[in-house]
Structure 1
Amino acid sequence: MAWYHLLVRRYWRLRKPLTLGVRIIVTDEDKGVLLVRHTYVKGWYLPGGGVERGESFADAARRELWEECGAEAESLSLCHLYYSEREGKRDYIALFHAGQYRLHERDGSDPEVAEMRFFSWDELPEELTPATSRRLREFCRRQFTTDRW
């Protein structure tokens, strides 16, 4: 799976496609914030992924949250919109917050997610990706000061 991810990144660098993505901050008063670790890259991330053809940003956020975490967002609010060229593509990312959700038993069929876990706000993992760390700091301050991912 890692070789495929590298191949796709090289393609993006050559073609510079326009992509749409979502990330979701799932919070729980008792448990903290939900993060995922993927099978093909290192670090802990916010759940999320790409927006499919004909899908709204909010629908994509709900689908990705279900696919990656087995969670149903009962409430979803848009936090901020970002732009990124980090992976060689022109990527627009919508950041959502899900403060109410229903967690269902995962069947383990998603080959992309190695692990998902809630972390308390004062014990976030060291392997948190830089972008995820920035988004969580902005969310806690309720100040989204940049439009760049």
Structure 2
Amino acid sequence: MLIPASLHRLALRVGHVLRIVRWQLARPRIHGVSVIARDGEGRVLLIRQTYGPRHWVLPGGGVRRNEPVTDAAAREFKEELGCPVTDLCLLQVREEPLHGATNVVHLFTASLAGEPRPDRREVGAAQLFALDALPSVSPRTRARLRLL
């Protein structure tokens, strides 16, 4: 049985703050994935998370222990947006500071293979944007999109 969405979103916000504190203290090296997914018109899919800053960002998340990064990218996308991607292609691996941690980000490009449906728990909104008409995106997202 799932907990109510509103309680789940609250837990995510609290967990986000606790994770930041932990990373600031421990300064770990973490691995994540980020996916630049485009539709047939070349628009890029951006999401708004229910926790953290309100900027639009690229879908993605953490890599599990011993999980291949391509599998992690596909899993995170499917979990957050309820649709698969095709043609996953590693674009770049980059190290970025993230709240005191070193985040090793595996950045992928992909094609949308369905209609995105945000889970409304971790992802509050998802929308396709033309690259020349982007909304307010995080600096990190803007830098990643410049690689296209």
TM class by smaller structure: 0.7 to 0.9
Q: CA RMSD in A?
A: 1.6
In structure 2, C-alpha distance between the alignment counterparts of 1:90 and 1:105, rounded to whole Å? 30
2:62 corresponds to? 50
Query: Any gaps of 5 or more consecutive residues in structure 1?
Result: 140-149
1:51-90 alignment runs, 5 A limit: 51-90=63-102
1:135 paired with 2:144, answer yes
Deviations 1:35-78 (A, max 9, x none): 00000022100000000122111000000111111221221101
Say if 1:38 and 1:114, in contact at 8 Å, map to a contact too. yes
3-state DSSP class of the match of 2:25?
A: helix
In structure 1, C-alpha distance between the alignment counterparts of 2:89 and 2:14, rounded to whole Å? 35
In structure 1, C-alpha distance between the alignment counterparts of 2:116 and 2:131, rounded to whole Å? 24
3-state DSSP class of the match of 2:100?
A: coil
1:27 corresponds to? 38
Say if 1:67 and 1:110, in contact at 8 Å, map to a contact too. no
Say if 2:80 and 2:119, in contact at 8 Å, map to a contact too. no
Percent of aligned pairs with the same amino acid: 37
Q: Give the TM-score of the pair, scaled to structure 2.
A: 0.84
1:112 paired with 2:122, answer yes
In structure 1, C-alpha distance between the alignment counterparts of 2:95 and 2:86, rounded to whole Å? 27
Q: Give the TM-score of the pair, scaled to structure 1.
A: 0.84
Aligned length: 136
1:37 corresponds to? 48
Moved over 6 A (4+): none
Shift of 1:30: 1.9
Query: Any gaps of 5 or more consecutive residues in structure 2?
Result: 1-11
In structure 2, C-alpha distance between the alignment counterparts of 1:31 and 1:80, rounded to whole Å? 19
CA 1:103 to 1:86, structure 2 compared with 1: closer, same or farther past 3 Å?
A: same
